[in-house]
Amino acid sequence: MRQTICLTLIGLVFACGATERINLDADWCFSREGEAVRTVSVPHDWSIEAAPKDGAPNGKEWGFYPSGKATYEKRFVLTEEDLAKELELVFDGVLRAAKVSVNGGEPVQGSRYGYTGFRVPLRGKVRAGENTIVVSIDASVAPASRWYMGSGIVRSVWLEKRSGEYVIPESLDIRTQTVTPEFATVQFTAAVTNTAGGAAHVVARSCKYPNPKLWTPETPHLYTEEFYGETVRFGIRTVEVNAKDGFLLNGKPVEIHGACVHHDHGPLGAASYPEAERRKALQLKRAGFNAVRTSHNPVSEEFLTACDEIGLLVMDDMFDGRERAKTRGDYCEIFKEDWRKDVSWIVCRDRVHPSVVMWSVGNEILERNEPFAAETTRQMHELIDRLDGTRPVTQALCLWGEKWEDQDAMAAALDVVGYNYLEYLTESDHARLPERVIVYTETYPKDAAMVWKRILKHPYVIGEFVWTGIDYLGETGIGRNFYTDREKWGEHYHNVPQFPWHGAYCGDIDLVGTRKPVSHYRETLWNAKAPTYLAVREPDGWKGKIKTTSWSVWPTHDHWTFAGWEGKPVVAEVYSRATRVRLTLNGKTVAEKENGAANAYLTSFELAYAPGTLVAEGLAVDGTVLDRAELRTAGEPDHVRYSRETIGRLTWVTAEVVDKNGTVCPYADREIDFGEKAIATCSGDLTDNVPAPSRTRKAWQGRALGILRGVR
């Protein structure tokens, strides 16, 4: 049985009140310009309900989805007893430019950022009986972001009732002070006030935990305590960085193998269902990642809670741009007025999460070479240290033709310097600035082996965050491959047509949730226990002349079905930690080759395509077969195989079109009906522009996804 020794250091509270938190997500009356009123539940994103349309004002940044203006209205009931309490509405996130009025009163401005939450005090605005909330949203300024934002009350809404003495919201701070194998000391600090109108005062409690179970990605142990009427969950862990040892978690070096992710959930858009947030974290964890960068905005608290529980390190990214705009209507227009408020909100909310191990205060800011930008970074760091001070601060720098050394002043204001696609500067920068700690805040998917080698070689490089972990909406065309007879070449930032593309295909995982071969290769680099994996490069010319783009990898598949290519050359890739690998086709050995770290655990075999069974075997030194991977040529589509994952209220159903032997038919495009309880569907095809709420979806590469509510 655990024994905890606690000592109250400042203040003594004899009678704690309680905060009652009531969820208000259900039954909102929603009306959008020119449309009839309907009932919806929040989180809700109205933009994702439409089909992408070429020429939409939000353009390729948003994946050609619309935005606009809309109103949400909800009624709630209070008692006479409630009116004696401290009452607040809490909005976790509204995109964007929200104004909230209660019972027809003066509207209250919501967070102008949209990704940060806000509170609406109800004193003097409510009555016993029925009350009405009206939320007016103006998301018409386009595009306001370089990626899909979504529109609406995209995170949960709460009614908080407080009585007696209570902890002031977002004032709680939890810090691991000392850790030994015998004891850990954790200090809890908060500001406390009461509904009687007394002055707020600070309270602190120091607790010792014998034989502490430390929080790590492998063992994400969480403790629970009661602190002045609040139930608190936390992890015991410490974070340090230095150029000699790298990133230290609980005093031990840890290599960061991370992914950048945007906030959308594919066919759910920006609607931040807690279940979808958890599934996103689980997808990353299952793919072998131990860290995530929340590019480039604060995420929902439910996502951080999931990271706490399953063990993902989080770089808490706050902003994309700062003082110079990247798109019309973006955060840069309000940065000077709002950044202190928004940084304070982010840090005070997120500092209780053990998964959060780094703060990031900007991404590729356009004013990066100006002296005032370095001063702003210094001020942001100073504010974060006042509010937290237990985690390093970073910022993602980049180089677009200017003088790199001009950014040294800004880098000097950071604890860890983020490099976006600047791995080639690693060694020369270390030679001139040996105390600099580097993290690769963005890397190209195709550079997995090169990045891995540098991280292994240099302890001052603490890890990477590949762009990206999961495909996402907007930034249309990133990561696309295409056939030159059907599409024009051009990166997403070039002025070339991108429609019907509506998203970015650069993720290790597609929108269905299928791991691409590059994901399995990346895990093979990191994980000594990764199983042998077999993939095949699409033959150039089989379906057309292939063109790749900067964030793409060569189209590589987990199948052996290339009808019409019989007798022509193909390349099979084997990802394995075995010392040797052998490839066989229809029982005959193609070749056996040396494998290992020298060739970054990737061995290629060229052979003539013939239908049948392709097998890769990982071999020990003595020739013993350690494991194997197999691909079979698919026959004619026979039936649909379903698998499901249920988290809370939502079920993700993956449909695969298979032949009579159960092999996925990779080019079957059967239309699949997911039923009346489907709230969204998609395939991995980012040119499929059927509206997300459709209950039917054509399979792509043999697969489609339906998201159902209320199905077990």
Strands 108-109 and 613-619: unpaired
Q: What predicted TM-score, i.e. pTM, was given to this entire model?
A: 0.95
Give residue 228's region: left, alpha or beta (phi > 0; psi -120 to 50). Answer: left
pLDDT at 11 over 70: no
Neighbours of 80 (CB within 10 A): 9
Residue of 19 and 247 predicted with greater confidence: 247
- Give backbone dihedrals phi and psi of 330, rounded to 5 degrees, phi first: -80, 180
Using pLDDT thresholds of 50, 70 and 90, give the confidence band for residue 280: very high
3-state secondary structure of 449: helix
The residue written with tokens 């034989």 in the block is: 211
CATH of 528-558+560-632, one of 3.30.110.60, 3.30.70.1710, 3.40.190.10, 2.60.40.10: 2.60.40.10
d(CA 206, CA 217) in angstroms, rounded, equals: 25
Using pLDDT thresholds of 50, 70 and 90, give the confidence band for residue 1: very low
Using pLDDT thresholds of 50, 70 and 90, give the confidence band for residue 228: confident
**CA 354 to each of CA 215, 217, 303, 489: distance values in angstroms, whole numbers, following the listed order:** 7, 10, 13, 44
8 A C-beta contact, residue 677 and residue 708: yes
| Segment among 225-234, 414-423, 635-644, 661-670 with least mean pLDDT | 225-234
Question: CA neighbours within 13 Å on the CB side: how many for 337?
Answer: 7
pLDDT at 13 over 60: no
Tokens found for residue 450: 């090169």
| Segment among 143-157, 167-181, 190-204, 536-550 with least mean pLDDT | 190-204
pLDDT at 661 over 50: yes
pLDDT at 63 over 80: yes
pLDDT value at residue 197: 75
3-state secondary structure of 307: helix
**Which amino acid would we find at residue 39?**
T
pLDDT at 711 over 90: no
**CA 473 to each of CA 685, 699, 708: distance values in angstroms, whole numbers, following the listed order:** 12, 19, 20
Average pLDDT over residues 316-342: 95
pLDDT at 49 over 60: yes
pLDDT value at residue 114: 95
Average pLDDT over residues 463-479: 97
- Give backbone dihedrals phi and psi of 381, rounded to 5 degrees, phi first: -60, -45
Residue-wise burial string across 440-452, b where 16 or more C-beta atoms lie within 10 A, e elsewhere: bbbbbbebbeebb
- The CATH superfamily label for domain 20-163 reads Galactose-binding domain-like (2.60.120.260)
Helix (H) or strand (E) holding 517: helix 517-526
3-state secondary structure of 380: helix
pLDDT value at residue 230: 86
User: Closest Cα partner for 641 from 614, 671, 663?
Assistant: 663
| Segment among 3-12, 265-274, 607-616, 666-675 with least mean pLDDT | 3-12
Average pLDDT over residues 504-517: 98
The residue written with tokens 């090169």 in the block is: 450
| Segment among 16-30, 253-267, 575-589 with least mean pLDDT | 16-30
What residues pair up with 653 in beta bridges, in sequence order? 644, 706
pLDDT at 196 over 80: no
- Give backbone dihedrals phi and psi of 277, rounded to 5 degrees, phi first: -65, -40
3-state secondary structure of 701: coil
Neighbours of 532 (CB within 10 A): 23
Using pLDDT thresholds of 50, 70 and 90, give the confidence band for residue 284: very high
Say yes or no: do domains 5-17+168-237 and 639-709 share a fold.
yes
8 A C-beta contact, residue 112 and residue 95: no
Read off the DSSP letter of residue 143. Answer: -
pLDDT at 9 over 70: no
Tokens found for residue 690: 């059927």
Using pLDDT thresholds of 50, 70 and 90, give the confidence band for residue 8: very low
Using pLDDT thresholds of 50, 70 and 90, give the confidence band for residue 142: confident
Helix (H) or strand (E) holding 244: none
Question: Is 363 exposed, middle or buried, given 0-12, 13-18 or 19+ CB atoms closer than 10 A?
Answer: buried
8 A C-beta contact, residue 584 and residue 562: no
pLDDT value at residue 704: 98
Preceding amide of 353 cis, omega within 30:
no
Average pLDDT over residues 317-343: 95
> How much of the chain exceeds pLDDT 70, in percent?
97
User: Closest Cα partner for 91 from 294, 300, 265?
Assistant: 300
Average pLDDT over residues 138-145: 93
8 A C-beta contact, residue 248 and residue 673: no
d(CA 677, CA 699) in angstroms, rounded, equals: 19
- The CATH superfamily label for domain 639-709 reads Immunoglobulins (2.60.40.10)
Neighbours of 65 (CB within 10 A): 30
Cα angle 355, 359, 362 (rounded to 5 degrees) comes to 140
pLDDT value at residue 644: 96
Sequence ranges of the domains in the chain: 5-17+168-237, 20-163, 242-471, 528-558+560-632, 639-709
d(CA 451, CA 463) in angstroms, rounded, equals: 9
8 A C-beta contact, residue 603 and residue 571: no
d(CA 237, CA 239) in angstroms, rounded, equals: 7
Fold of 5-17+168-237: Immunoglobulin-like (2.60.40)
pLDDT at 265 over 50: yes
pLDDT value at residue 4: 56
User: Closest Cα partner for 203 from 173, 235, 237, 179?
Assistant: 173
pLDDT at 14 over 50: no
Using pLDDT thresholds of 50, 70 and 90, give the confidence band for residue 34: confident
Task: Write down the architecture of domain 242-471 according to CATH.
Answer: Alpha-Beta Barrel (3.20)
3-state secondary structure of 250: coil
User: Closest Cα partner for 363 from 402, 308, 419?
Assistant: 419
Using pLDDT thresholds of 50, 70 and 90, give the confidence band for residue 2: very low
pLDDT at 292 over 90: yes
pLDDT tens across 367-390, in order? 999 999 999 999 999 999 999 999
pLDDT at 421 over 50: yes
